[in-house]
Amino acid sequence: MSLVLDSAAQDLLFREARTANSFSDEPVTDEQVQAIYDLVKFGPTAFNGTPLRITLVRSPEARERLVKHMAEGNQAKTAAAPLVAILSADNEFHEELPRLLPHFPPAKDMFFSERPVREQSALVNAALQAAYFIVGVRAAGLAAGPMTGADLVGIQKEFLDADHTPIMVVNIGKPGEAAWFDRSPRLSFDEVITTV
């Protein structure tokens, strides 16, 4: 009764949404990805820096190059998923700040002149955006399979550059046969929430 989001949407985004380990053959189109991005881009980030960058791995040749960097247990599903995305953090995100934070242009130089500070902020905020992205995939009626079980340094060298740090790889599509195990338990409210 406390939530205003209707219960069908709650189920779609959270209660019935699962991490898929197998996928149907149904393609995931660029239009679907655009609709997902155009929804989740509104998720908040520090200074509105929005450091997440997304590389869609579409060609069979690129998919092959990616699969070899995945942990063994992740290879088959990454090879078979209709779409795979590499999510990365742009460590030079501050270059866009004058445009993204027009009411406070000094932020770029005042807070982000040092690379280690940028890297830390990029990592935290790209991870937040990755979470929004997963929920957006679910909002499109698709399932996401996020994975960090991979040689992320190898993926960076293969697909990105020194300014982009991969944070996870995400398989995307309609779930296939036996796509998941039984739901694992979650910590209860009392275990997690402390009020001071």
The correct pick among 37, 111, 159, 180 for binding ligand FMN (CB under 6 A) is: 180
Q: For residues 167 and 89, what is the distance between their CA atoms, to the nearest angstrom? A: 7
Which tokens is 154 given?
Answer: 């190898």
Subset of 2-21 contacting ligand FMN (CB under 6 A): 18-19
- 8 Å CB contact between 28 and 142: yes
C-alpha to C-alpha distance for 165 and 146, rounded to whole angstroms: 16
147 binds ligand FMN (CB under 6 A): yes
Decide: is 74 part of the binding site for ligand FMN (CB under 6 A): yes
Cβ nearer to ligand FMN, comparing 9 with 131: 131
**Does the protein bind ligand FMN through residue 59 (CB under 6 A)?**
no
Query: Binding to ligand FMN by residue 168, rule CB under 6 A?
Result: yes
Which listed range, 24-32, 36-44, 59-67, 179-187, lies at the site for ligand FMN (CB under 6 A)? 179-187
75, with CB counted inside 10 A (0-12, 13-18, 19+), is middle
* Cβ proximity to ligand FMN, 107 vs 147, nearer residue: 147
